[in-house]
Structure 1
């Protein structure tokens, strides 16, 4: 097998903009407002399609079915089968996203026959005064929450966190959150498209209707405790893997490369995904070589235990695998 690239799946959103096109090379087609680019997806109805090599035009589930643990690793395949367990996105918030929450695996399985949605964010770009909403300012009761929601004042209970490029946040299922206007992020999450919308600023869709809220469904999954120190602290060390997030669903490292780096992953039974955040990188292993540029994502099959990343000058990447 070889490093696999995929055709991005761009999504028109009421809050989307043009920065994924202008800064990350995404092609909108006829879509006016690109809010999301799904870089690697096993979500039914939105399967990623290989764009390079002899597997070009094959879908992600098709190649998992064909190569099984060679592609995703024995442990991952035994647990997930032909379902790819993670979803990788780029998100451009040209306007505020709805305040929302995601269910955990147990609730999502019962209600939607789906995985839950634990995720992480890496901030790629942020306008001055941009912020994220992450959790409650203080411990809150259901009664306080519902009363504030009824008054249209739920924002007052929630924590607004100023952000800048390079900030990292871990968003477990149950944590109320929203991406504010002027923020571009890379998002890594469980393979799920289940979102409970709590408040949408009384916004209307392109047909003039207010978007559906999920007040009752959300009540059972919200974590009402205060959210303390939501931002992940880390220090960059060039050419070293810096751990940003490690949870049961994925591990994410940051790589700031200024020189060639070779990886020996014989001890791991997992695929590895690289999201290129800045610069350009050549990935070589065996007889295969591919290049990824800013905004591109590549899947390294589990069977590729030794490979080398060579930056063109300097490059920044997220490295993701299942530990």
Structure 2
């Protein structure tokens, strides 16, 4: 059962940022970074079904849409792309666009692209820290400026742009109109509290996204699916023999491993490919860890984890 600290790939974007602190030490000065992709450290490992990212916006992204599995496979691609966003931070007035504010025909959608009124056709809403948005394939969507978010998605790089704010990148109008659900997105389900520690943010056909909030100096057994991604939002811990802190990601290849939480607790996102939450995902081992962990540095956490792994 591999437990790996994920490698990070920076993706430079015209709408990205130069300062990624505290999430990364990567410097975007001179070449703005818009996305951090978290990938298997073992480059020879099988390609995961999901892709975990962090996004940083200083300007609006294109208005875009992704195909569903049926359309993608008809085009010779392995799958489509549904995704979910967890808002880490958002400046005052920051907005996201999800779906349209009214139903339109394909002809009307084409016309709105040509006359640039598609910006007014998108359903914009304010966004704040902690907001969760599920974006099924086929949903027209966009991100505004001033947002940092985590994204979990089906592994696909197929994006059809409808509008790009005169950045002179290619548009994909025919494909976008063909795959788009040109109507308002139904109201999403609210997050579900499973336990004091686990909140299910999204449970979809392709993946589950949870937030976990673990008490300081506590010990846990993680019973993971064959592909499980863990992104630390706050605090630090030892997961198996890997120590992680804010902005770092661990890939767990399934099975049972330990989590030893540091003195400041742990808040993390956990994503895995399943249609519903796994009841046995997280099991508390004891009320509190030993005093060693309560005052632990990362090296101490590793030593304590070895005894439990």
TM-score range, shorter chain: 0.7 to 0.9
The alpha carbon displacement at 1:116 in A equals 0.8
Normalized per residue, the structure richer in strand is 2
Which of 187, 203, 210 is 1:253 aligned to?
Answer: 210
Give distance in 1, aligned partners of 2:145 and 2:11: 17
The correspondence of residues 134-213 of structure 1 with structure 2, limited to 5 A, is 134-203=98-167, 210-213=168-171
**Over residues 173-226 of structure 1, what are the superposed CA-to-partner deviations in whole Å (9 max), with x where a residue is unaligned?**
0000011111111000011101000001112xxxxxx11100001111000122
Shift of 1:290: 1.5
In the other structure, the counterpart of 1:263 is: 221
8 A contact 1:12–1:31 mirrored in 2: no
Change over 3 Å in CA distance of 1:199–1:112 after alignment to 2: farther
Moved over 4 A (4+): 235-239
1:214 aligns with 2:209: no
Instruction: Please list the CA deviations of residues 2-24 of structure 1 after superposition, one character each: whole Å capped at 9, or x if unmatched.
Output: 4201220001111100242x221
- For the residue of structure 1 that corresponds to 2:237, the secondary structure is strand
Which residue matches 2:191? 234
Alignment of 1:230-309 (within 5 A): 230=188, 233-234=190-191, 239-259=196-216, 260-263=218-221, 265=223, 269-284=225-240, 289-302=241-254, 304-309=255-260
**Structure 1 residues 235, 107: CA separation in 2 closer, same or farther (over 3 Å shift)?**
closer
Cα distance in structure 2, aligned partners of 1:269 and 1:224 = 35
Check the 8 A contact 2:236/2:244 in 1, yes or no.
yes
CA contact (8 A) 2:94 2:145 kept: yes
Where does structure 1 lack aligned partners over 5 or more consecutive residues? 41-47, 51-57, 64-81, 204-209
- SS of match in other structure, 2:59: coil
Summarize deviations over 1:77-127 as a string: whole Å, max 9, x none: xxxxx3310111001011100000001112212224232111000011100
In structure 2, the residue corresponding to 1:24 is in which secondary structure? coil
Q: Is the 8 A contact 1:139 1:225 kept in 2?
A: yes
Q: Contact 2:96–2:142 (CA<8 Å) still a contact in 1?
A: yes
Give the Cα separation in 2 of the matches to 1:319 and 1:213: 34
State the partner residue of 1:35: 34
**What's the secondary structure of 1:312's corresponding residue?**
strand
Aligned to 1:104: 68
Distance, in Å, in 2 between the alignment partners of 1:26 and 1:140 is 44
> How many residue pairs end up in the alignment?
273
Contact 1:238 1:257 survives alignment (8 Å): no
Kept in 2, the 8 Å contact 1:96–1:180? The answer is yes
TM-score (norm: length of structure 2): 0.82
| Alpha-carbon contact 2:192-2:201 (below 8 Å) kept | no
Map 1:67-78 to 2 at 5 A: none
How far off is 1:239 after superposition?
4.8
**TM-score, length-scaled by structure 1:** 0.79
Secondary structure at the counterpart of residue 216 of structure 1: helix
Q: Given that residues 99 and 199 in structure 1 are in contact (C-alpha distance below 8 angstroms), is that contact kept between their aligned partners in structure 2?
A: yes
How far apart are the structure 1 equivalents of 2:109 and 2:185?
A: 15
Task: Please name the residue that 1:127 is paired with.
Answer: 91
CA contact (8 A) 1:140 1:226 kept: no
Instruction: Say yes or no: does 1:85 pair with 2:49.
Output: yes
- Kept after mapping to 2: 8 A contact 1:236/1:256: no
The secondary structure found in structure 2 opposite 1:218 is helix
User: Per the alignment, do residues 31 and 296 of structure 1 end up closer, same or farther by CA in structure 2, a change over 3 Å counting?
Assistant: farther
